[in-house]
Amino acid sequence: MTTVVNLSAMLADLEELVCCESFSADHEAVARSAAVVAGQGRRLLGMPPETIVIDGVTHLRWSFGEPRVLLLGHHDTVWPIGSLRTRPWSVSDGIARGPGVFDMKAGLVQLFHALATLPSPDGVCVLVTGDEEVGSPSSRALVEESARGCAAAFVLEASAEGGALKTARKGISAYEVVVHGRAAHAGLDPGKGANAGVELAHQILAVAAMATPAASPDGTSDGPDGTLDETTVTPTLLSGGTTMNTVPALARLAVDVRVPTVAAQLRVDTLMRALSPRTPGTRVEVLGGPNRPPLEPASSAGLFALAQRVAAGLGLAPPAGAAVGGASDGNLTAGAGCPTLDGLGAVGGGAHADDEHVVVAEMPGRAALLAGLVEAARG
């Protein structure tokens, strides 16, 4: 295997990707970005991709023989068109900046250059989606289909802090609680109404009580907020009523759920489905449900150990592992039963923020690690 050393070529490709803006909500921009990504892949992999347009969103897939390894990324970003004017592409003091540079266009560059160093890409499937940042509504089935039957999925999302690989991710559920009541004049006949707003208050308290605090090191359940073993059930958007002097006949609540395990996701779903009204004359409706399964540590353990061995063989520092609360398409590959290791993309920081950046010097080593993982995992 040839070591990836052409950093100047990687930077040229990264500049091309960053300067082609690809805001998820702008399907025309995503299509233009897909054409640029396809061109780089064609040049470095030796063949054009399959272009797949679903619900107006452009995805790309390369398949080389019978796939054993899936390399997964996305080319859409959270940055609206025009962001380059205020956050232009730049490289200064070894730091590359620009919209989407860290999440996750540098990961795509590393992916293509890693595969280009291998004697053959045989046994590899490369999937680059165009709607990951908005929850993968059109690409979810494509991701799951591509993962089934593979021995490993390597996700080129940006690394965790300090370049750590992402060995676990929380799963996500999304619900809407709709309370149906009965309208009445708030001054003349309030007793004839059934107040959906009052009932929603009861439901907010019931929903919030479903959360499970994180366990502290001594085994108690009073650990800090935000740790991976914590189940969070968060009431977010609230709405209800029509006018100041009307008993509200309708009220709504959005609920964001983050879970560490499939069992925790099922527990919350059972509790949500069991919600019942306390205010006479009201009715509670629960919409939504699990959106992404968790990437549990067991799914990544073998591949993380492999990454440490590959890094040692390349003379690289052993990568650390990190559990994170956010989700990615790696949740979907793990949910499809494919062993998954995430966070193999760029080293840097500031995803979705003004200080988004990539540490340029880390790019060749990350590409070499990925190439070594592909060689080892495809057998």
Catalytic residues: 76, 132
Q: Is 225 exposed, middle or buried (0-12, 13-18, 19+ CB in 10 A)?
A: exposed
Give the span between the Cα atoms of 260 and 6, in whole angstroms. Answer: 39
Question: Taking the C-alpha atoms of 329, 335, 336 and 340 in order, what is their torsion angle to the nearest 10 degrees?
Answer: 60
Residues 6+ apart with CB under 8 A from 215: 221, 223, 229
Contact 357, 92 (CB under 8 A): no
Residue 122, by phi and psi: left (phi above 0), alpha (psi -120 to 50) or beta?
Answer: beta
CA distances from 195 to 28, 237, 265 (A): 46, 19, 31
Write the CA distances from 151 to 34, 67, 68, 125, 302, integer angstroms. Answer: 27, 9, 5, 11, 11
Question: Can you read off the two tokens belonging to residue 76?
Answer: 């859409």
Residues whose CB is less than 8 angstroms from the CB of residue 141 and which lie 6 or more positions away in sequence, other chains included: none
Helices marked H in the chain:
7-18, 27-45, 83-86, 106-116, 140-147, 196-208, 262-273, 297-314, 329-335, 363-377
Which H helix or E strand runs over 50? strand 50-54
Quickly tell me which residue has 């959270």 as its tokens: 78
Buried residues in 286-300 as b, exposed as e (16+ CB within 10 A)? beeebbbbbbbeebb
Cα–Cα nearest to 26, from 70, 75, 67: 75
| Cα-Cα-Cα-Cα dihedral sign, residues 39, 151, 141, 63 | positive
Q: How far apart are CA 211 and CA 123, in angstroms?
A: 43
Residues 144, 148: Cα–Cα separation, whole Å: 6
